[in-house]
Amino acid sequence: YEQPKVIKNTLQGRISKDKILEQAFGTEAKAILDRAEHVQIVACGTSYHSGLVARYWLEEIAGVPCSVEVASEFRYRKFVVPKNSLFVTISQSGETADTLAALRLAKTLGYASSLAICNVAQSSLVRESDLAIMTEAGPEIGVASTKAFTTQLVALLLVTIALGRRHGLTAEAEAEMVAALHSLPEAIESTLTLDAEIKRKSEHFADKNHSLFLGRGAQYPVAMEGALKLKEISYIHAEAYPAGELKHGPLALVDADMPIVAVAPNNELIEKLKSNLEEVAARGGELFVFADVNTGLSSGPGLISVHMPTVASVIEPIIYTVPLQLLSYHVAVLKGTDVDQPRNLAKSVTV
C-alpha cells in the first residue's frame, strides 16, 4: 500500500515534466553511461526478476544488448565480457552475499564500470560500486520484497531512458515514457482498489498445493515474481512459464486442482496469450486472469477474471505486479502463515 508514495520518492528530483534529470544520478554518471554498450545484470530472488524485466526495456527501448544472470551462478561461470559492458547489480539490502561476490568477481573480469540499484545507502554494494542509484522504498519490514521490487523497476526504467538517449531514443519517445512514469502512483492506487475482489478470489487457492503462473514478453518475469511471492509466503508450490512454453511440458500438469494465474495486458502479445489460455481451459484447468479491461477476457466457465486499468505499455510490468502481491498476501492470510516472517527465509542472505 505504500507503493504509490515510495515510487514518487524514487522519482523525486530525477524527472521533470518531460525528461529525466541525469545529474541527479551523481557526478560519475555521465561518463559511465556514455561508455556503456552492453549491460550485464546480476541479482538474486525478487531483485533478479526486476533485472529480467529491465532486459526487455534495455533492448527494446534503449537498443542496448543486455544479459541477466542470478548472482549465485554468475560467481561460478566463466564469462566472455563484452566490450564496454556496464555491470549492474540490483539488491534491496545491498548485503546479499552472492550479489556482492559477483560484483567483486566482475571487477577482476574487465567490466567497464559498475552500477548498483539499491535501497540501502550505507550498504557494501553501494560502497563498492562505481555508481549507485538509490531506490527510495524505505525499510522493507517483511522478508518478501514488494515495494523494493516496484521501485527497482522505476530506477531501471530511468537507467533505460538515460541509456536510450545515447542510442537514438527520441525526445518525443522519452517524454512519453516520462509521462508514463508520472502516471504510476495513480495507476497503482487504482489497482489497489481491486483488493477486496482479489481477497474474495484468493479463496480458490486456500486448499490448493500447486499453481502455475503465465505471462508473455516482459510479463513473463512478472509471472515469475508472482510465483515467488506465492511460494515464499503461502508455501503453495508455484511455477512460472512463458505461456508459449506450456505445450512443451507443463500442460501435462493441468487439471482442476492446479489453478493457473495469467497476467494479460492488452498489448501485441494478447492474441497469442489468449490461445495459450484456451489450451489450458480445454484441459479443465481453472484460470485466474488479471486482464486489461479491453482484452475481452471476462469471467465465465473455467475463467475468473480481475479487470485491470489500461496503462501505458511500458509500465505494465509494474502495475501487473501489484495484484499478484495482493493475491499471495490474501492466500497466505487464509492459510494462516506468517506473512512477514516466512519459515526458513532471511531478509538478507549474507552467507
Residues identified as active-site: 347
**Cell digits of residue 275:** 490461445
Binder of ligand F1P out of 3, 46, 219, 276 (CB under 6 A): 46
Question: CB of residue 32 vs ligand F1P: minimum separation in angstroms?
Answer: 21
C-alpha 339/C-alpha 329 separation (Å) is 7
Residue from 10, 91, 129, 191 in contact with ligand F1P (CB under 6 A): 91
The piece of 40-48, 51-59, 264-272, 306-314 that touches ligand F1P (CB under 6 A) is 40-48
Cell numbers for 80, please give them.
566472455
Query: Pattern 144-183, binding to ligand F1P, x per CB under 6 A?
Result: xx--------------------------------------
45 lines the binding site for ligand F1P (CB under 6 A): yes
DSSP 158-218: HHHHHHHHHTT--HHHHHHHHHHHHHHHHHHHHHHTTHHHHHHHHGGGTT-SEEEEEE-TT
- For residue 5 the three cell numbers come to 508514495
Nearer to ligand F1P, 211 or 328 (CB): 328
100-139 residues near ligand F1P, rule: CB under 6 A: none
Does 92 participate in binding ligand F1P (rule CB under 6 A)?
yes
- Options 79-87, 141-149, 261-269, 273-281: segment touching ligand F1P (CB under 6 A): 141-149
Question: What residue number has its CB nearest to ligand F1P?
Answer: 45
Please give the grid coordinates belonging to residue 295. 482484452
Of 21 and 121, nearer to ligand F1P (C-beta) is: 121
Phi/psi at 164 (5° precision): -60, -40
Nearer to ligand F1P, 91 or 234 (CB): 91
Q: How far is the CB of 262 from ligand F1P (least distance, A)?
A: 23
User: CA distances (Å), 34 to each of 28, 162, 234, in order?
Assistant: 10, 9, 44
Q: How far apart are alpha carbons 288 and 302 in whole angstroms?
A: 9
Q: How far is the CB of 42 from ligand F1P (least distance, A)?
A: 10
Distance CA 274, CA 125 (A): 42
> Exposed, middle or buried by CB within 10 Å (0-12, 13-18, 19+), for 207?
exposed
Using an 8 Å Cβ cutoff, are 121 and 38 in contact? no
Q: How far apart are CA 174 and CA 1, in angstroms?
A: 28
Q: Does 349 bind ligand F1P (CB under 6 A)?
A: yes
- How many chain residues touch ligand F1P (CB under 6 A)? 16
State the minimum distance, in angstroms, from the CB of residue 108 to ligand F1P. 21
Sheet holding 303-308, edge to edge: 237-242, 210-215, 260-264, 287-292, 303-308
Contact 303, 290 (CB under 8 A): no
Closer to ligand F1P at the Cβ: 95 or 195? 95
Q: Which H or E run includes 335?
A: helix 316-335
Q: Considering only 87-95, 128-136, 235-243, 272-280, which stretch makes contact with ligand F1P by CB under 6 A?
A: 87-95
69 close to 40: Cβ distance less than 8 angstroms:
yes
Question: Is 223 in contact with 263 (CB distance < 8 Å)?
Answer: yes
Stretch that binds ligand F1P, among 77-85, 142-150, 179-187, 324-332 (CB under 6 A): 142-150
- Kindly state the smallest distance separating residue 57's Cβ from ligand F1P, in Å: 19
Nearer to ligand F1P, 144 or 280 (CB): 144
285-344: which residues touch ligand F1P (CB under 6 A)? none
Nearer residue to ligand F1P within complex by CB, 45 or 221: 45
93 touches ligand F1P (CB under 6 A): yes
Q: Cα(30)–Cα(22) distance, rounded to whole angstroms?
A: 8
**Binding residue for ligand F1P (CB under 6 A) from 3, 10, 40, 47?**
47
Question: Applying CB under 6 A, which residues contact ligand F1P?
Answer: 44-47, 91-93, 96, 99, 143-145, 345, 347-349
